[in-house]
Amino acid sequence: MKFLRTFLFSILFGGVLPIYGATIEGKVTLPKTHTAPVKTQRYEIISTGGVVATNPPLAVVYLEGDFPPPASPPTARLPQKDLVFIPSLLPVRVGTRVEFPNLDDLYHNIFSFSAAKRFDLGRYRPDDRPVPSQVFDKPGLVTLRCEIHEHMRGLILVLNTPHFVVTDAAGRFKLTDLPAGKFVLNAWVDSNTTRSQPVELAADATLRLDFP
């Protein structure tokens, strides 16, 4: 599979595809839970002093570098179910089209005033087709709301990389099939906190790295 990918890249782009197979695993030290989460949902989005984050805390770990464009535009889905976004925090690559399926037996109206993406999907039912969607073409944090259900909050973190992962509740993460070379590894913790460390990756090797 890796040989085929290298061969195809050489034909399409006239260059040499970076050697893949590196792995980074580790742990991000997460902030303490700010408040008790709503009983009917696992995570909620909170704003404390203007800082937006998930509660309980999560982090998005991603590799920063110069990566080839995708062969086709990526797609993702962010459903609404039981009056929450699932997941509450969704990282995507720049250029991703995100669909917002309504899995509740009522109307939703998803919108955002964020600088990275301003949009309003209007009111739509579960059976409306096509499923409302938006292309996220600018990096940054997008805060989602529902015009009908004011408590609903969600986050989309738009990144200039295909290599990202959301940590588990303990802050553990693992990124696989990474290219060899020198990069910067980032851990997005909240809208005001992104920790960074330079990394050098070797093919088929595993690097252990923690964010204190």
Domain ranges for the chain, please list them: 21-208
User: How confident is the model at residue 172, as a pLDDT?
Assistant: 98
Write down the residue that tokens 């991000």 correspond to.
28
Look at residues 139, 133, 106 and name the one whose alpha carbon lies nearest to residue 119.
133
Q: What letter represents residue 96's amino acid?
A: T
Q: Does the pTM of the predicted model rise above 0.75?
A: yes
* Other Cβ atoms within 10 Å of 164 Cβ, number: 19
pLDDT band per the 50, 70, 90 thresholds, residue 9? very low
What are the angstrom distances between the C-alpha of 154 and each of 81, 150, 177?
12, 12, 28
User: How confident is the model at residue 139, as a pLDDT?
Assistant: 98
**Mean pLDDT on 40-69:** 90
Residue 13 has pLDDT above 80, yes or no: no
**Alpha carbon distance 158, 78 (integer Å):** 14
pLDDT band per the 50, 70, 90 thresholds, residue 43? confident
**Alpha carbon distance 16, 54 (integer Å):** 40
Please count the helices (runs of H) and the strands (runs of E) in the chain: 1, 19
Asked if CATH classification 2.60.40.420 holds for the domain at 21-208, the reply, yes or no, is: yes
User: How confident is the model at residue 161, as a pLDDT?
Assistant: 98
pLDDT tens for 112-158 read 999 999 999 999 999 999 999 999 999 999 999 999 999 999 999 99
User: How confident is the model at residue 192, as a pLDDT?
Assistant: 97
User: How confident is the model at residue 42, as a pLDDT?
Assistant: 65
What are the angstrom distances between the C-alpha of 47 and each of 94, 112, 146, 155, 196?
25, 15, 16, 12, 23
Structural element, H or E, at residue 190: strand 181-190
